Chain A
Amino acid sequence: MKKTHIILLLGIAALIAGLISFSADFSTYDTIGSAKEKQGKFVHIIAKLDKTHPVEYDAVKNPNYLTFYAVDSLGGKTKVVFHNSMPADLEKSERLVMKGKMGNEHFECSDILLKCPSKYKDDKQQLQNNMKEQTSMK
């Protein structure tokens, strides 16, 4: 066996070991309900903004404190605290992907990814809605 082959095998072994050990880093996509069962664990939650509660954010008082309520498709509901500025189109968003940890009182969110209808130019449904809105008679 050649030296280069041995090194290649060692490299591959290191790679596999690396990938396996890092798989512990990976988190999971959870519902609000299942996140509540594993409090303190880092999870991703896919949910929607609960429009029945107000979004609280006052940049003058504290630009790093945003709180709102989120609901998911299974009806789970939680208060969310995000120590960062309010994403501009939060209230228009259709879907939120929130990263963070569930606590006793609320979901402590460290990052939010917004899915907004306007970003989906390839979504035909959305295009149709746009078109209807734009061309409706006044």
Chain B
Amino acid sequence: MKFEGEHLLPGQIGHFFVILSFVAAIIATISFFKASRVVDLTEKQNWLKTARLSFYLQVAGGFVIFGCILYICSNHLFEYMYAYKHASLELEYKYLLSCIWEGQEGSFLLWTIWHGVLGIFLIKKSREWEAPVMTVVSFAQFFLLMMILGIHFGNIKIGNSPFSLTRNEISAPIFGRANYLSFIKDGLGLNVLLRNYWMVIHPPILFLGFASTIIPFAYAYAGIQTKRYGDWVKEALPYTLMCAAILGVGIMMGGKWAYESLNFGGYWAWDPVENASLVPWLLLIAGMHTMVIYKATGHSLRASYLFAFLTFIFILYSTFLTRTGVLGDTSVHAFTEAGEDISFRIFGVLFSFKAMNALILLYLFSFTIPSLFLLAKNYKKIPTINKEENTNSREFWMYIGSLVFFLTAVFIIAKTSVPVYNKIFGTKIAPPEDIEFSYNKVIVLVAIILGFLTAIAQYLKYKTTTGKYLFKTIWLPTLIAVLIMTALVIFYPFTYHKQGAGFLGAIYVAAFAVIYSLVANAFYIWTVQKGKILKASSPVAHAGFMLMLIGILISAGNKKVISSSTVNGITLPSSGKDPMTKEVDNPRENLTLLREVPASLDDYKVTFLKDSAGNEKGRKFYKLNFQRKDKTSGKTLEQFGLEPDVYQMKDNNMSSNPDTKSYLFRDIFTYVSYALNKTGQEKDTVKFSEIKLNAGDTSFYSNGYLVLNKVVNNPIDKKYKKEPGQVALMADITVTSKEKQTFNAKPLVLVDSLGIVNIDDTVFAQNLFVRFIGIDENKKIRIGIKESNTLIDYVTIKAYVFPLINLVWIGLVIMAAGLILGMLQRGKFTKLQSGIILSLSLAFVFYMFLLANA
């Protein structure tokens, strides 16, 4: 059958380039490998030429593929499955990129493109290391391109092509018609949870972080392959620092996104998807430190190999966790799953998805087994120093720090992998009752150790340090840290009593350790490094990391729910009281605000004013007014509006986006937890009853009285825009309730050549509708009033106060600055280049975390 209206060319071009790039990646891998093995120089050059050419071809192919997908999605070519699944007509243009990486194929492509960009950089810069390093990068490209290949070998389909056609992918009766396309009016569109500017920027940065972890891996391989066992460290270290900065920022962008626009109620929840990207970062930091130790002292080379390999291996493992659906019911990130409970009745489906998971596993094992095997085989050949590190040397304690990072990573991944054990051993282990606490109680110990280590180790010298030197430099920061901590305990004690006194104590100790480290590192810059901040990469990075940890401890420790429902005067059944605070153990966190009726939240009077539609289809903003009054004088001290919003889509998928009032020292964070669905509402059956009034007259309704102040001829009012040839009358009415609350109602009547139109007004707080009916023969004003018994307008919200959350973001920015400084110091950059890289990257991170949504 010939189908009408299909645009097959962009798909054919795209698919051709997928195959071309795939083949080019194979040739590049083989040629780089050959080039790394041959001794003869001309032969080596020949292999390198072929290899580079095919790698460039593959990179160019990646961009063409990306362009084709972009074209298909932006032109809404729903004959393609990818456009049908991820794009839709109403989707705003800015989310076009987001819908590309919403899909698995698109995110693998993004990863390939980053590998390609980094690869070109490595070809230019890595000199004699090029061949072995690029062998690894090209080999990874081979797997990533295989994921989007979509070619059948016999019965087995290799990869999912982003260019497959809707009619080939799914079966429906409509595809029996030649003009089927005219019936597919719209695509499914981007998941509403993902319609956010963070979705545009977070995935590329995170994937750049993922992609760059291959560089330390590749250099470690090159070290073994060239038998220059220690030389690679110097080369790989600047890349490792860059990677630590990018991956760290990418991960925290996810946290900022969750905090800003998802209703998880925080920025970190120890969700498996979050853990999966944190673990490689922890391993990378461990490796970065052992590499620094090796460069300074010659110790820790074997550990550097191990950590460099493990970092990338765990990037692949996290891909396996998040992409194969093995996490199943344990993650809130449902959209990243490939769907485990796929219908098994359809032959093709079963095969397609199984094959995909097999590819990801193959990718994982193809890097894990050879790298660990090579490491084991050459373990004895890797040079090591037989003399032990002194306990008063810097390298000893740095090594301990690396071990702490490594063990923390193992702990987190062991817990996160529970669904994998369940799958393998058929067990039914479920996450603990309080997931976050089950992590936090260990992580708080880690924070204590790291705080003390980074505070003191910096002041130790390599090889050996005298006690006198240490004391001379460290007594002042120690004293200051003690003073700051005392002030904190007295003026700003932690209120986190939920987990008992032991945990609270641990938080205090952690806070001290972290503050100590922050002060000690700041001092180190001034005393030991004489204020040369551009040379002080490691104390800057440490101070930033510690500032971040302080922010985490305080914002989590003193987070407060302010939307407790008890303020509504409703007594709630308590399920048990906390022995420490005598507060109800399970706070009821939702508060229903009736329209125009103020409620108290903490120090604020909050009023739900109105809701309004947003620019996007299905989006609705709830306008809340926050007012803080002086308790004695009753004067308004502060007033601001927040507009949390809700997306309600045609498939009844709903997502709620919070709105945050940011102060320097705290955030007020609120989101809609339940919004009335107005479509199913019953028709109001009550009729208006008529009263006749003169200006100044009073009439009663069931809950109070109303006064007609005056009638205004052709009023100027924002509700109404005068059309030519129209006469408008507005009644100005004051409604006073039994509770002595007053409201204003301004119903209108319009008269023109077409007839009479009433514009009613509603006093929501009184459920009272007011209509200007007209004027009777005695010049009395006819007013209709109606007391409705249908549902009143309301919205249910949750609100939190996060204290000092800005410290988390500021700390992150400073840490990134430290890491980038380290990279610039250790890499070969001119002053100009360094200046540009540093200022651009910092401006970007600072803008994203502290300004973008403030």
Contact = CB atoms under 8 A, between A and B. Distances in A.
B725 interface: no
B442 A18 contact: yes
B653 A15 contact: no
Interface in A65-121: 83-86, 88-89, 92, 97, 99, 108, 110, 113, 115-116, 118-121
A29 B794 contact: no
Contacts of A12: 407
Given A11-B403, A99-B433, A119 B191 contact: yes
B521 to A, nearest CB: 23
B334 A121 contact: no
B54 to A, nearest CB: 33
B654 A124 contact: no
Contacts of B791: 60
Interface in A40-59: 42-44, 46, 57, 59
Interface in B744-780: none
B185 A127 contact: no
Interface in B342-376: 342-343, 346, 349, 353
B590 A135 contact: no
A4 to B, nearest CB: 6
B428 interface: yes
A63 B652 contact: no
B438 A22 contact: yes
B85 interface: yes
A3 B796 contact: no
| Interface bin, chain A | 35 or more
A76 B592 CA distance: 34
B411 A118 contact: no
Given A4-B396, A113-B329, A11 B404 contact: yes
Contacts, number: 184
B589 interface: yes
Contact of B339 (A4, A8, A92, A122): A122
Interface in B424-472: 428-433, 438, 442
B174 A28 contact: no
A128 B791 CA distance: 38
Interface centre among B389, B586, B651 (most CB of A within 10 A): B651
Contacts of B653: 89, 116, 118-119
Contact of B337 (A44, A97, A122, A130): A122
B654 A2 contact: no
Contact of B343 (A30, A115, A124): A124
B438 to A, nearest CB: 5
A58 B197 CA distance: 34
Given A27-B432, A123-B342, A88 B654 contact: yes
A30 B427 CA distance: 12
Interface centre among B184, B338, B430, B442 (most CB of A within 10 A): B430
B673 interface: yes
B676 A59 contact: yes
B712 interface: no
A21 B586 CA distance: 26
Interface string B652-664: 1110100000000
Contacts of B418: 26
Given A22-B438, A135-B180, A124 B169 contact: yes
Contacts of B188: 121, 130
Contacts of A27: 429-433
Interface string B162-177: 0000100111111000
A29 to B, nearest CB: 4
A110 B434 CA distance: 10
Given A26-B430, A86-B674, A60 B792 contact: yes
A39 interface: no
A15 B172 contact: no
Contacts of B334: 115, 119-120
A135 to B, nearest CB: 4
Nearest to B167: A131
Contacts of B180: 135
Interface string B571-608: 01001000000000010111110100000000000000
B339 A15 contact: no
Contact of B338 (A8, A97, A115, A122): A122
Nearest to A91: B652
Contact of A128 (B172, B353, B391): B172
Contacts of B431: 26-27, 44
A57 to B, nearest CB: 8
Contacts of A88: 648, 652, 654, 656, 674-675
Contacts of B346: 124-125
B411 A18 contact: yes
Contacts of B649: 118
B595 to A, nearest CB: 11
Nearest to B586: A83
B674 A118 contact: no
B500 to A, nearest CB: 15
A25 interface: yes
B430 A43 contact: yes
Contacts of A61: 570
Contacts of B572: 62, 64, 83
B400 interface: yes
B53 interface: no
A128 B586 CA distance: 43
B252 to A, nearest CB: 25
Contact of B591 (A43, A63, A125, A130): A63
B570 A46 contact: no
A98 B297 CA distance: 54
A131 B341 CA distance: 20
B388 interface: yes
B332 interface: yes
B565 A62 contact: yes
Contacts of A115: 329, 334
A18 B399 CA distance: 22
Contacts of B798: 85
Nearest to B432: A25
B183 interface: yes
Given A83-B588, A113-B332, A120-B339, A2 B169 contact: no
Contacts of A118: 649, 651-653
Contacts of B743: none
Given A7-B403, A135-B172, A123 B438 contact: no
A101 to B, nearest CB: 9
Contacts of B343: 123-125
A63 B674 contact: yes
A2 B399 CA distance: 13
Interface centre among B172, B346, B418, B594 (most CB of A within 10 A): B172
Contacts of B388: 2-4
Interface string B402-420: 0110010011001100100
Interface of B: 85-86, 103-104, 166, 169-174, 180, 183-186, 188, 191, 329, 332, 334-335, 337-339, 341-343, 346, 349, 353, 388-389, 391, 396, 399-400, 403-404, 407, 410-411, 414-415, 418, 428-433, 438, 442, 565, 570, 572, 575, 586, 588-592, 594, 648-649, 651-654, 656, 673-676, 791-792, 794, 796, 798
23 contacts: A3-B389, A4-B389, A15-B410, A15-B411, A18-B411, A42-B432, A59-B674, A59-B796, A60-B794, A63-B565, A85-B674, A89-B653, A99-B433, A108-B575, A113-B332, A121-B85, A122-B104, A122-B353, A123-B342, A128-B170, A132-B172, A132-B173, A132-B174
Given A28-B430, A29-B430, A59-B592, 5 more contacts: A44-B430, A60-B792, A116-B653, A118-B652, A135-B184
Return the 9 tightest CB-CB contacts between A and B, nearest first. A88-B654, A25-B432, A64-B588, A85-B673, A63-B590, A135-B174, A44-B430, A85-B674, A135-B183
Interface of A: 2-4, 7-8, 11-12, 14-15, 18-19, 22, 25-30, 42-44, 46, 57, 59-64, 83-86, 88-89, 92, 97, 99, 108, 110, 113, 115-116, 118-125, 127-128, 130-132, 134-135
